[in-house]
Structure 1
Amino acid sequence: MSNAVSLTFPDGSVREYAAGSTGRDVAEAISKSLAKKAVAIALDGELRDLSDPVSDGRIEIVTRDDPRSLELIRHDAAHVMAEAVQELWPGTQVTIGPVIENGFYYDFKRIHPDSGEDWPFTPDDLPKIEKRMKEIIARNKPFTKEVWSREKAREVFAGKGESYKVELVDAIPEGQDLKIYYQGDWFDLCRGPHMAATGQIGTAFKLMKVAGAYWRGDSNNPMLTRIYGTAWHTQEELDTYLNILAEAEKRDHRRLGREMDLFHFQEEGPGVVFWHGKGWRMFQTLVAYMRRRLANTYQEVNAPQVLDKSLWETSGHWGWYRDNMFKVTVAGDDTDDDRVFALKPMNCPGHVQIFKHGLKSYRELPVRLAEFGNVHRYEPSGALHGLMRVRGFTQDDAHVFCTDEQMAAECLRINDLILSVYEDFGFTEVVVKLSTRPDKRVGSDDLWDRAESVMTDVLKQIEAQSGGKIKTGILPGEGAFYGPKFEYTLKDAIGREWQCGTTQVDFNLPERFGAFYIDQASEKRQPVMIHRAVCGSMERFLGILIENFAGHMPLWIAPQQVVVATITSEADDYAREVAEKLRDAGLTVETDLRNEKINYKVREHSVTKVPVIIVCGKREAEERSVNIRRLGSQNQTAMSLDEAMAALIDEATPPDVKRKAAARAAA
């Protein structure tokens, strides 16, 4: 066939088609039913319109149930939302509407027809827009594409009063096509691609919220209204997503933090935590747990909080990270004595200084230095989010200085620690991914080759040792500028993923600071430096735990473990005795001897998420028994005081302490 196009299909077969054939032509040539299901094509992995001509390469026919079509569904839903808004409120200007994680948004400028003033959308407008969107989808108008000249695009959009679109047209680089997509009579400037028709969007969508947004994200520009939406393949997927959002809202650690009296934030200290007594107790319980896990393996150290900028210049952070550092200039008696200091944003440069202090022999390696270091990083105010994103936080940071030959064993040791910690908190679904060399990096290719080779082998061992329970993967180009790294992502009780632990190989800092050890041949050798974190930010990890357990914390880490409440004042002395015995055993216990009904007391302590409420009345005092009520349960269990003591002491014992006790007993 002359002037033919050669296409390779997923099964490896190769077929030829006439020049100018479109993706739809190819789908119809395979089968009419496939052509009806098709929404796009993928040519050499790139999604294209069905109407686009094909060229030599690998082709896939993308149907609506293909995972890749989800982005198209959301993209098309955004366009339909914009059409619905302009049908309902003519004169509204449409600006930008991209696909985002789990959905889409569009920014609009609406002017009130009577006052001529800004007329932002409100949540009350969303049901009207949704209803009109469904009507537009039911019309099933085809998406068609035209390519316009810059002059035509400017003229048409200016004629419609779409000044923001004119600005977008002017911003498109010379030589790039200006694509206009129609759905029926309505059209917009868009890169594409789109599905074949609006009907393929389906009705599994929902408009979620409205928010203010500056044009192009610049506070000097006009304020627009942003409407967010979500869209999915099926109603079942949409319902699942909405249920997760509703559950996430109930589990929001900020709300639970208030209810449980754990912490608060205020404007005078943006991005830093005001820990209350109960919250600080839980924080310190987590730190104590991690300290025990590191005992006899790491040396716990403490590097200075404030250091001269010269150290940060040597480390490279001043050049790479200066805008995110808190800095202060200290004036000396003479202007020449002025010095610039910075609050540390990370612990690693300080740990290199500690390693360098005194000569190190290869026999001393690996040297493992750990620190629960308080660090500060400037985050934009809009990015702050409770404990999850703060400006001051504590890292469970450690650095291992080892020989090249020890690197693999150390990475495996760190992996075992990280997975064991997560399992102690109930996280069993973990993904470990290797991030490889980025475009901008330091160090020779030989060093990167060696490090990536070792970590690839370690990744295989991690998966093999877990029996396939731990999923692994590669993140090309996502490594740190100084070396490759493992990223540990865990899944919580409602299926959300959280990236927490990291293991990062670094051959940059030891070289910059001239760190070395003496090898077997009495020669100076540069050590490999491995950065590792298990929880990452202790504050963030606690936020994750609070949301994962919905405030129903395991007894061993709960901020308030037991309340002993009385039914009658005749049991007050016995309640005090029960509480004292539990305190002597190491539990945190309060008594509630108020002259209130027991159901009122139980409800009140349930709001603050106390895991165990021990109820004592006259009968319990006489029999030296107790009734135990568990958070979230309407039932109560009667048992003797001795039985209750033994059960609660066992439950309040941290898992690592239990393991050690079991090991000693077995020995």
Structure 2
Amino acid sequence: MPLIDVTIDGETHQLEAGTTGTTWFAGRREVVAMSVDGTAKDLSAPIPDGARIEAIILDSPAGLEILRHSATHVLAQAVQQVFPEANLGVGPFITDGFYYDFGNIDAVTPELLRDLEKRMKRIVKQGQRFVRRVVSEEEARRELADQPYKLELIASKGGHTAEGAGVEVGGAELTIYDNVAPDGTVVWKDLCRGPHLPSTRLIGNGFALTKSSAAYWKGDQANDQLQRIYGTAWASKDDLVAYQERLKEAERRDHRRLGAELDLFSFPEEIGPGLAVFHPKGGILRHAIEDFIVTEHLKRGFEIVYTPEISKGGLFHTSGHLPHYADTMFPPMTVDEEHDEDGAVTRAGQAYYLKAMNCPMHNLIYRSRGRSYRDLPLRLFEMGHDYRYEKSGVVQGLTRMRGFTQDDSHIYCTPEQAPEVIRELLGFFDEVLSAFGLSDFHLELSTRDPEGNNQDKFIGSDEDWAQATQVLQDVCVSTGLDLVADPGGAAFYGPKVSVQAKDALGRTWQMSTVQYDFNQPERFGLEYTARDGSRRRPVMIHSAKLGSVERFIGVLTEHYAGAFPAWLAPVQVELVPVAEAFDGYVDEVARRLRAEGVRVEVDHSDDRFGKKIRNAATQKVPWTLIAGGEDAEAHAVSFRFRDGHQENGVPVDEAIARIAAHIRDRVNTDEW
């Protein structure tokens, strides 16, 4: 046999031509697939000459994706055991799990989920092999003749992957995966790109079905309604249990639940979906956050502006938002329309839109007078109130809203100044997020799709996009932070870098963003006078540090499980007299604390002393100060901390100094 030269896990090897991954990795049970020049492949695939091969381990991110996608085939097989006439949709892996869409099945009940899970376990134990076959379009149609959605995928050969489901549509080849029983019988099949695990047995017992929901074929409400079944799959039972515990903890930390328990905010039905009201305690929390971020902008030379929340539609046509963003803007309202006695229009009205973004109005402020190179960089900042027409089904508490506030800034600068401006903003992001205890993050660079997909959603020349993308990438690389690519995720007017921060549960949230915009200065005719007297276009750098203030509060509430650091806590100190006789004493301590800017409540209720202590703990107050006879005589208080431990007999002067310093220094833990 001829020999081929390959690199496997960083080492050079000579192999016989035709050697498969199965043969090479036979001694490594943890290897479930292989990466061939960056593309995941089945172990059964031959290793090509000159390839760079890397093992894919079951519990690696790539291995878990393959595990979860393999689990979708087992789920679909189980469903067709119960409903032989079921129509198969798509079944991709998703973050932490998978789903599969089905038509022509009964409503999914908890009892059905339990039955399907049992059937899946039996299929897994059978050790069915996943066998890939390349088929012609005609063969695929013949084999899947009873599956209308699969036939539609085959017919729509447009060179894309359907819903991430691994279905090769319009590529060089169509592939079907057979599930082959130990006796060689093909027991099930699906149109799929793969790759898959070598055997269902490798799915093990680390999976579970979690829920079901309605879905539409291809996500279009005009299409058939389907039943979507969700599941999760992990490399081991222990990993599954750990994940389920994280879900329980996430439920305990849900900001909507805590918002009600701590009396922070609510979502009245009378106002409508995606719109929140902040109660006094939530209001002071929000004020503390907004006051901090405004102060930090002023320190860095930003100038505060204010703009209306409604505007003529022409403004958003100029900016490009209406042509490219209309479906996320609220429908217009007609203003100044006049009618005669019969109701006929005698004067046409003007369409006005709720503001979905602040940048068009900031452009008008820039354009309001002549600008010189000496004015640049010009830093405009606004706590802007914006409105976006999110569908009612996708709004979620404070994290996905229709009305929200952005700490939005726009920096106008020369192209030469742009790299340093962006570098300073990334440093600003770091300082802000670290101040709130969110210092574990990486960067994500969102660009146009390099494959050329959906190019009609972007505006501007290839040259401008390339330059803007390169500037952002170079600055990000220079920071030394991890940088992840997000092809196709850019705004329509330019590439974007976002900070992806981890919370206490390890979940990732998009926080700060910076965008390089070469389009709006052109569309609004923005200019500055250069040093040589010529008129030139500035570059516009969009950025938000918190993003949406409301969303940031939602994330922060879950990160701290409602036990906010003292500098943010709505009530920083709760004073509890042991008996009514000491009311005057604790009132005086409260007065002195308030004089130092500390947010204080005194519990003068008729509740028993023990219940007062429990109430303060339930409200997650950082410090409960208790005073009785010995404390009053010694001009002292007793500290009770959130973790339950107590420090008695602390002199009042010392207690006030310690509390004030802790708050002033913005310490994010309860430790002194």
| Alignment partner, residue 621 of structure 1 | 632
| Alignment partner, residue 269 of structure 1 | 272
**Structure 1 residues 215 and 310 mapped into 2: Cα distance closer, same or farther (>3 Å)?**
closer
| Alignment partner, residue 121 of structure 1 | 108
Amino acid corresponding to residue 123 of structure 1 in structure 2: P
For the 8 Å contact 2:631–2:649, the answer to whether it is kept is no
Structure 1 residue matching 2:417: 3-state secondary structure: helix
Are 1:365 and 2:379 an aligned pair? no
How far apart, in 2, do the equivalents of 1:94 and 1:299 lie?
57
| Alignment partner, residue 91 of structure 2 | 97
Q: 2:651 aligned to 631, 637, 640, which one? A: 640
Structure 2 residue matching 1:248: 3-state secondary structure: helix
How far apart, in 2, do the equivalents of 1:251 and 1:155 lie?
51
For the 8 Å contact 1:23–1:41, the answer to whether it is kept is no
How far apart, in 2, do the equivalents of 1:448 and 1:214 lie?
35
Amino acid corresponding to residue 335 of structure 2 in structure 1: V
Structure 2 residue matching 1:385: 3-state secondary structure: coil
Amino acid corresponding to residue 426 of structure 1 in structure 2: G
How far apart, in 2, do the equivalents of 1:294 and 1:61 lie?
47
How far apart, in 2, do the equivalents of 1:37 and 1:574 lie?
67
Q: Which shifted more, 178-187 or 385-394? A: 178-187
Are 1:455 and 2:472 an aligned pair? yes
- CA-to-partner distance for each residue in 1:237-272, whole Å, 9 max, x for gaps? 333322322221111111110001111113332111
Amino acid corresponding to residue 304 of structure 2 in structure 1: E
How far apart, in 1, do the equivalents of 2:25 and 2:228 lie?
42
Q: Which shifted more, 441-450 or 404-413? A: 441-450
**Structure 1 residues 342 and 135 mapped into 2: Cα distance closer, same or farther (>3 Å)?**
same
How far apart, in 1, do the equivalents of 2:152 and 2:493 lie?
40
How far apart, in 2, do the equivalents of 1:427 and 1:211 lie?
33
Q: Which shifted more, 428-437 or 287-296? A: 428-437
For the 8 Å contact 2:100–2:230, the answer to whether it is kept is yes
How far apart, in 2, do the equivalents of 1:132 and 1:263 lie?
44
For the 8 Å contact 2:577–2:628, the answer to whether it is kept is yes
| Alignment partner, residue 327 of structure 2 | 323
For the 8 Å contact 1:362–1:517, the answer to whether it is kept is yes
Are 1:492 and 2:503 an aligned pair? yes
Q: 1:107 aligned to 101, 105, 120, which one? A: 101
| Alignment partner, residue 298 of structure 2 | 295
**Structure 1 residues 638 and 235 mapped into 2: Cα distance closer, same or farther (>3 Å)?**
farther
Amino acid corresponding to residue 459 of structure 1 in structure 2: C
**Structure 1 residues 402 and 256 mapped into 2: Cα distance closer, same or farther (>3 Å)?**
same
Q: 1:79 aligned to 73, 88, 98, which one? A: 73
Q: 1:142 aligned to 129, 136, 139, which one? A: 129
Amino acid corresponding to residue 472 of structure 2 in structure 1: M
For the 8 Å contact 1:38–1:61, the answer to whether it is kept is no
Amino acid corresponding to residue 132 of structure 1 in structure 2: R
Identity level (%): 39
Query: What is the alpha-carbon root mean square deviation over aligned residues?
Result: 3.0
**Structure 1 residues 257 and 195 mapped into 2: Cα distance closer, same or farther (>3 Å)?**
same
Give the deviation of 1:635 after TM superposition: 3.2
Q: Which shifted more, 535-544 or 69-78? A: 69-78
For the 8 Å contact 1:64–1:200, the answer to whether it is kept is no
**Structure 1 residues 166 and 523 mapped into 2: Cα distance closer, same or farther (>3 Å)?**
closer
- CA-to-partner distance for each residue in 1:51-97, whole Å, 9 max, x for gaps? 44565562536454454222221122222233334446766665432
Amino acid corresponding to residue 190 of structure 2 in structure 1: L
Are 1:46 and 2:51 an aligned pair? no
**Structure 1 residues 551 and 122 mapped into 2: Cα distance closer, same or farther (>3 Å)?**
same
How far apart, in 1, do the equivalents of 2:144 and 2:465 lie?
51
**Structure 1 residues 444 and 626 mapped into 2: Cα distance closer, same or farther (>3 Å)?**
same
Are 1:179 and 2:179 an aligned pair? no
Give the deviation of 1:569 after TM superposition: 1.1
- CA-to-partner distance for each residue in 1:418-453, whole Å, 9 max, x for gaps? 111111111221212444455534444544454444
| Alignment partner, residue 422 of structure 1 | 433
**Structure 1 residues 639 and 16 mapped into 2: Cα distance closer, same or farther (>3 Å)?**
closer
With normalisation by structure 2, the TM-score equals 0.86
For the 8 Å contact 1:41–1:49, the answer to whether it is kept is yes
How far apart, in 2, do the equivalents of 1:146 and 1:520 lie?
66
Alignment of 1:207-218 (within 5 A): 207-218=209-220
How far apart, in 2, do the equivalents of 1:215 and 1:529 lie?
40
Amino acid corresponding to residue 266 of structure 2 in structure 1: H
For the 8 Å contact 2:130–2:177, the answer to whether it is kept is no
Amino acid corresponding to residue 303 of structure 1 in structure 2: T
Structure 2 residue matching 1:560: 3-state secondary structure: coil
| Alignment partner, residue 569 of structure 2 | 558
Give the deviation of 1:273 after TM superposition: 0.9
How far apart, in 2, do the equivalents of 1:214 and 1:76 lie?
23
**Structure 1 residues 650 and 11 mapped into 2: Cα distance closer, same or farther (>3 Å)?**
closer
For the 8 Å contact 1:567–1:597, the answer to whether it is kept is no
How far apart, in 2, do the equivalents of 1:31 and 1:395 lie?
52
- CA-to-partner distance for each residue in 1:82-122, whole Å, 9 max, x for gaps? 333444676666543221121112234576xxxxxx4x233
| Alignment partner, residue 311 of structure 2 | 307
Are 1:345 and 2:356 an aligned pair? yes
How far apart, in 1, do the equivalents of 2:448 and 2:212 lie?
40
Amino acid corresponding to residue 39 of structure 1 in structure 2: V
Give the deviation of 1:564 after TM superposition: 1.3
**Structure 1 residues 403 and 95 mapped into 2: Cα distance closer, same or farther (>3 Å)?**
closer
Give the deviation of 1:323 after TM superposition: 1.4
Amino acid corresponding to residue 610 of structure 1 in structure 2: V
For the 8 Å contact 2:5–2:12, the answer to whether it is kept is no
- How many aligned positions are there? 634
How far apart, in 1, do the equivalents of 2:337 and 2:242 lie?
62
Give the deviation of 1:570 after TM superposition: 1.0
Q: Which shifted more, 200-209 or 454-463? A: 454-463
How far apart, in 2, do the equivalents of 1:157 and 1:472 lie?
42
Where is the helix percentage greater, Structure 1 or Structure 2? 1
For the 8 Å contact 1:6–1:17, the answer to whether it is kept is no
**Structure 1 residues 580 and 226 mapped into 2: Cα distance closer, same or farther (>3 Å)?**
same
How far apart, in 2, do the equivalents of 1:63 and 1:401 lie?
46
